[in-house]
Chain A
Amino acid sequence: MQILGISSNLSFSQKTFADSLKLPYPLLSDFPHLKVIKIYGGLNTQWDSTTAQRYFFLIDRQGIVRGKWPGKVDQVFHSEPILKMAKEIADKH
Chain B
Amino acid sequence: MAVSVIVALMAAVNAQTAERPALLELLKALNVSAYPSLMHPPEFNGLTADGQNVSLASLSCRVLVLSFWATWCLECRPEMAAFERLHREFSVKGLAVVGINAREGTTTIREYAKDLRLTFPLILDSTGKINSGYGVIGLPTTFLIGRDGRPVALAVGPREWDGKPGRALIGALLAERAVLKERR
Residues of A within 8 A of B (CB): 2, 4, 9-17, 19-21, 26, 28
Enumerate 17 A-B pairs (CB-CB under 8 Å) in ascending A order: A4-B3, A11-B36, A11-B39, A12-B39, A12-B40, A12-B151, A13-B132, A13-B135, A15-B33, A15-B36, A15-B154, A16-B136, A19-B154, A19-B156, A20-B156, A21-B137, A26-B6
Chain B contributes a number of interface residues (CB within 8 A of A) equal to: 22
| Nearest CB in chain A to that of B6: its residue | A26
* Interface majority SS (helix, strand, loop, mixed), chain B: mixed
Residues of B within 8 A of A (CB): 2-3, 5-6, 33, 35-36, 39-42, 132-138, 141, 151, 154, 156
Known: A15-B36, A28-B6. 16 other contacts (CB 8 A): A9-B135, A10-B135, A12-B42, A12-B151, A13-B42, A13-B132, A14-B135, A15-B39, A15-B135, A16-B134, A16-B135, A16-B136, A16-B137, A16-B141, A16-B156, A20-B136
Task: Report B-chain residues with C-beta under 8 Å of the C-beta of A13.
Answer: 42, 132-135
Task: Report A-chain residues with C-beta under 8 Å of the C-beta of B3.
Answer: 2, 4
Cβ-defined contact, B154 with A10, below 8 A:
no
Smallest beta-carbon distance A73→chain B, Å: 15
* Interface majority SS (helix, strand, loop, mixed), chain A: helix
Residue among A20, A21, A28 with most chain B CB within 10 A? A20
Q: Tell me, in angstroms, the Cα distance from A17 to B133 when the chains sit together.
A: 11
